[in-house]
Amino acid sequence: MFLFVHLNFNQQQATVDLFALSTDEPSRLKIPSISVDASVEHLGLTNEGAMDVPEDKDDVAWYKFGPHPGENGNAVIAGHYGWKENTPAVFDNLHKLKIGDKIYVENKNGSLITFVVREIQIYDKDADASKVFWSDDNKAHLNLITCTGEWSDNEKTSSHRLIVFANKKE
């Protein structure tokens, strides 16, 4: 999925990030219907193989090893759920989204990509996430993830994940 290609032409080396060539990078996520306007961190995987999560509860994390928002495939953005220091995290109201609501991703160059909520699902925290990260319909999707369900003190995580599936508005 994610390629860094180093081209060596007669001892001269050039580094080419194919994704950087194809589109700009996301900088802000905006969901007016639930008053979200968040900075986008670019993160990969944890040591355990899970998608990494933002350091700041007010930020969201884009999975940088997947497609950019607006590219064909599933771009994935995660954000925290819950309260910390007496203020809610960025996706505390994600469950209030409904089908047809609009989601906007602003790129660093200022361009705005619009997505429309298609489906909302609840996954077990350990469920297979293929459908979240992969699609083969040659269309651009944006999937948002946050926690839901019961908090486990032992496992230090919630029992389920709320996934919002959205399609790019053509």
Partner 1 sequence: MKKNIKNFSKLSAITLAVALVFTLITPSVTLAATDPGLGTASSFSILAQTAITGTGTISGNVGLNSIGAGITALTDAMVGGVIYSSDGVAPSTATLSPSVQANVSNAFTSNIPGQASTGSIGPVLDGLTVTPGVYDIGAGRLNGGILTLNGSGIYIFRASSDLVSSGSVVLTNGARACDVYWRVETLTTLNGSSFVGSILAGTGIHFGSGTSLNGRALAVGGDVTLLNNNISGPTCASDPAPPILYPTPISTSTPVVTSTPIETIATTTTTVIVTQISTTTPTLPNTGINPEANNHPWDLIILGSVFALPSFFYLARKKQLI
Report the site for partner 1 in 37-76 (rule: CB under 8 A). Answer: 45, 48-53, 57, 61, 63, 65
* Residues recorded for the chain: 170
Of 161, 141, 139, whose CA–CA distance to 150 is shortest?
161
Q: Which of 110/137 has CB closer to partner 1?
A: 137
- Give 120: exposed, middle or buried? Use CB within 10 Å, 0-12, 13-18, 19+: middle
Q: Write each residue from 86 to 105 as x if it is in contact with partner 1 (CB under 8 A), else as -, in one continuous string.
A: x--x-x---xxxxx------
| 131 near partner 1, rule: CB under 8 A | yes
| 6 near partner 1, rule: CB under 8 A | yes
Q: Regarding beta strands 102-107 and 26-31, do their DSSP bridges make them parallel or antiparallel, or are they unpaired? A: antiparallel
- Compute how many other C-beta atoms are within 10 angstroms of the C-beta atom of residue 45: 12
| Positions in the binding site for partner 1 (CB under 8 A) | 1-10, 45, 48-53, 57, 61, 63, 65, 78-86, 89, 91, 95-99, 119-134, 145-148, 151, 153, 156-158, 161-164
